[in-house]
Structure 1
């Protein structure tokens, strides 16, 4: 096991607290317990199980799992193929927002790294900062880069170049808050415009209402979660802003032409 502990610099937005790497033995079990920071693990080899919120996730090579502050969790290596992983612990006023942009949610704290945007070299680089001057700043820079590599812009609805600033602000708001119960009043308040005027701008720029655009964002996010095969339909519904799984299923079928379970099965067959 290797650790790098840091000396706080007072970076309020995002600050690295510790970095480490470990080749685990089968009995290297943590928890149940809580931590006071975000800790993002990347699994290099082997298998293990991560438990949070009463749910258990199998995690293997190329996947990441996130520990959030004050949440009860536990994790343990597989007995036959214990994992080796690296991690980075951090906090800051922007940490929760960046984590959401990176694709992690309370319902889905596990993520497969995109092979086209590999993050393993970044974890290797972090351990190389141990004896470097100003390692805290270097590690924070690597953390920003890591979260940027994990961000999922491919799930956002693309905008044409001529879309105005107010519509872009509204779209950014929806992409950041789609998992919450937001409506037209919230969107209009965010951009500082009248609700009817916001609707007019969306129709002129995108030929659809703000509600339709928000629904498309939510459905794209839901498709990604369904392709991952991990959470249940109800959990996915809540993760994309629907407290009622039946309403989510109706909206999904209306938008994509098949039910969430059928979409998941179709994705599973295509990936075999």
Structure 2
């Protein structure tokens, strides 16, 4: 029987916002080795090199779900999600992991179809999967590399992960879909500015009234709800991964008035920005 092996490293520089590694490592587990129940402060992705095991984690509805995972697959753990994972008794797994976070992470993972209810990674492209694993191995094996080099390889890891599960584009998109997509891209690029629904509709090439109907039919939310929700998601991420003041975070997401920002944040997240930052702060612990 192989000995239990564990190696990991914590990223030493915390000044990156769009995407930042938190820690990364590799582990060959003993039969029945378990981690959890636990909660993470960031996203944590495991790729199973070989063997098998079980992930027990909360779904989107808060129910506990069990997932059987084998070599060549992976699993994603989400911030604040209660989870436990256990190595198989007969064929215990070996995996590499990367813990990461940043402004662009949540939306990118959701677009790739990775959610609390669907956390299992199964690649559609073995070539891109292998590229992803190469980047994970680089992080584990080059813990003394410069911060910029480590961040660069984290971007390459996430890019390969997302592209390896990407669904082919659906043919024959409707014209209204293109208007909505143009609006969403405009919000992504300009949410930090003092923009409103009129600006978004103008960029999408529609009058405000008709645009509101088309947008809600496509997304289930009004343009105003989407804009506020997007800004508050980015604000929450900034509060988590930076030391910016509440006022500075508000300005960064298009709210020059701190009081207006705090009201909007509480309306979405149910608590003040300061209280949310205190709640989400937590010490980093190794994977095992």
TM over 0.5: yes
Closer, same or farther: CA 193–130 of 1 in aligned 2, 3 Å: same
How many angstroms apart in 1 are the aligned matches of 2:51 and 2:79?
26
Q: Secondary structure at the match of 1:117?
A: helix
User: Over aligned residue pairs, what C-alpha RMSD do you find?
Assistant: 3.8
Q: Secondary structure at the match of 2:142?
A: coil
Residues 112 and 166, structure 2, Cα contact 8 Å, conserved in 1: no
Deviation at 1:71, TM superposition (A): 0.9
Deviation at 1:112, TM superposition (A): 0.6
How many angstroms apart in 2 are the aligned matches of 1:146 and 1:100?
16
Deviation string, structure 1 residues 140-189 (Cα, Å, up to 9, x no partner): 222222222232443432579x999746415769xxxxxxxxxxxxx969
How many angstroms apart in 2 are the aligned matches of 1:125 and 1:194?
50
Deviation at 1:58, TM superposition (A): 0.5
Closer, same or farther: CA 76–193 of 1 in aligned 2, 3 Å: same
How many angstroms apart in 2 are the aligned matches of 1:189 and 1:50?
47
Match in the other structure for 1:154: 167
Work out which of the residue numbers 129, 133, 150 in structure 2 matches 1:139.
Answer: 150
Residues 103 and 150, structure 1, Cα contact 8 Å, conserved in 2: no
How many angstroms apart in 1 are the aligned matches of 2:168 and 2:116?
19
Structure 2 length as normaliser, TM-score?
A: 0.57
Work out which of the residue numbers 39, 46, 50 in structure 2 matches 1:45.
Answer: 50
Closer, same or farther: CA 46–72 of 1 in aligned 2, 3 Å: same
Q: Secondary structure at the match of 1:96?
A: helix
Closer, same or farther: CA 94–214 of 1 in aligned 2, 3 Å: closer
1:36-115 paired onto structure 2 within 5 Å: 36-53=41-58, 54-114=64-124, 115=126
Closer, same or farther: CA 49–14 of 1 in aligned 2, 3 Å: same
Deviation at 1:138, TM superposition (A): 2.1
State whether structure 2 residue 32 is matched by structure 1 residue 21.
no
How many angstroms apart in 1 are the aligned matches of 2:172 and 2:16?
33
Match in the other structure for 1:233: none
Deviation string, structure 1 residues 67-123 (Cα, Å, up to 9, x no partner): 111111000000000000000011222221222233311210111123142222222
1:118-133 paired onto structure 2 within 5 Å: 118=129, 119-132=132-145
Match in the other structure for 2:256: none
Structure 1 length as normaliser, TM-score?
A: 0.60
1:185-264 paired onto structure 2 within 5 Å: 191=204, 193-194=206-207
Closer, same or farther: CA 95–32 of 1 in aligned 2, 3 Å: same
